[in-house]
Amino acid sequence: MTSEKKFKNNKKNYKAKPAGKQKQWTGKKESVKYTEKKKTDFKKNTAPKGEQKKAAPKKTEAKKPATKSLCPVHGKCGGCQLLDMPYEQQLKRKQTEIAKLLKPYCQVEKIIGMDDPFHYRNKVHAVFGHKKDGTVISGIYQEGTHFIVPVDECLIEDQRADAIIRDIRGLLKSFKIKTYNEDTGYGLFRHVLIRTGYHSGQIMVVLVLGSPILPSKNNFVKALRKLHPEITTIVLNVNGQKTSMILGEKETVLYGKGYIEDELCGKTFRISSKSFYQVNTVQTEKLYSKAIELAGLTGKERVIDAYCGIGTIGLIASDKAKEVISVELNSDAVRDAIANAKRNGIKNVRFYNNDAGVFMRQMADAGESADVVFMDPPRSGSDEKFLSSVITLHPKKIVYVSCDPTTLARDLKYLTKHGYKARRVIPVDMFPATEHCENCVLLERK
């Protein structure tokens, strides 16, 4: 292979290519010193549309009382559209809708659901504010607005996270810390973001402030840790902009390492505040296992992990592939991905800090090829420019992981018109109680 020397990895280093214009698709490389570490043995802590209308009850008949929702704010926050629907019915509804959308391309296999569809979210966000009388509140924005719906506990969120958020409200009162007001820009405390390790039990608390100065910072951290000794790291994030974005650019570690670790499909991953990491660990293991199964890896393949994030799919697939090329535009994510490769002692994966579409086109121009492309784009799907890059590279197989069936159908239309055929579609219910569903699709070159 003409590019073998360019592509070869030094055994003591992991490489990452910065984004930008390069004449060669490998570009400038960054190295990170490799140190072998023993793997931690983590243990787990422990109404349908189309119904006929019933006849109006007679005046003498007593009306049936309205069914009480499982959640006191259901219908206000807009977060759990299907919460009061029995879970089997939720699965049936999603199966039907996905099958209808994707019928032109492939028969849809049976949806993979959860045994326990509650408290699955390992990432919990709460926005903070106050009532007119000054009482501190926390919760989520009402759908389509910036009106805060107060939430004490949520049926799909990690219960440890909810308890921490409730106690932070009390600490703000004790320490006389003002919450941020979006309209006036006055106040300090904006959000709390909590990430939890399903297998490791580790907990990260991110305090998002409007300025970098937290009054009585050390005492605040000490008080929070006393209430919740299970917290393994606390990070202060500064977001002084008038924006709907939760996190700002600047961060300071107040306690611990500044990240947590958790296990996924037998590999250990470092997760920082800004890392993309699937919110449902149980279902992610099923999803990624199915994705790798669909790829049919034999140990001889060159694999591309596009939109690689912190490296999850590529690193999990590395045991079954000859080599994995992981591409990600976000430099923070690439840094975490390199650390994750080191953490797991994986040496047949290389990371490139670049736009995946540009990178694949550069590969094709250099006469390079790939056997399998994994793609896990954002909810908006892939644009035509990216999809054309995949077509240009001409891999034997594409494994498309999608979190939106509508954009998936749009992208399948393009791919099937340009030389690929959808062979299998497997829905995985990553988001019980909501209308969203993940899908894993195998496409093969015709």
Q: Is 371 helix (H, G, I), strand (E, B) or coil?
A: coil
- At 59 the pLDDT is 42
- What would the pLDDT profile of 217-234 be if each residue is shown by its tens digit? 999 999 999 999 999 999
How far is residue 16's CA from residue 11's CA, in Å, rounded to a whole number?
14
- Residues with catalytic function: 403
Cα 103 from chain centre: 27
- Amino acid identity of residue 225, one-letter, is R
- What would the pLDDT profile of 141-163 be if each residue is shown by its tens digit? 888 888 899 999 999 999 999 99
- At 383 the pLDDT is 87
Contact 229, 160 (CB under 8 A): no
- At 25 the pLDDT is 56
How many helices (H) and strands (E) would you count in the chain? 10, 18
How far is residue 395's CA from residue 242's CA, in Å, rounded to a whole number?
44
User: Within 10 A of 239 (CB to CB), how many other CB atoms are there?
Assistant: 19
Domain spans, the chain: 73-120+280-446, 123-263
CATH code at 73-120+280-446: 3.40.50.150
Report whether pLDDT(2) > 50.
no
Mean of per-residue pLDDT scores for the chain: 87
- Domain 123-263 in CATH 2.40.50.1070? The answer is yes
- At 380 the pLDDT is 78
Residue length of the chain: 446
DSSP per-residue codes, 285-315: HHHHHHHHHHHT--S--EEEEET-TTTHHHH
Report whether pLDDT(333) > 80.
yes
Report whether pLDDT(130) > 50.
yes
- What would the pLDDT profile of 34-58 be if each residue is shown by its tens digit? 333 444 444 444 344 333 333 444 4
- At 26 the pLDDT is 52
Residue 124 has which token pair? 């919990």
Binned at pLDDT 50, 70 and 90, residue 21 comes out as: very low
pTM of the model: 0.84
Q: In sequence order, which residues have a C-beta less than 8 Å from that of residue 165 and are 6 or more positions away?
A: 124, 126, 138, 192, 194
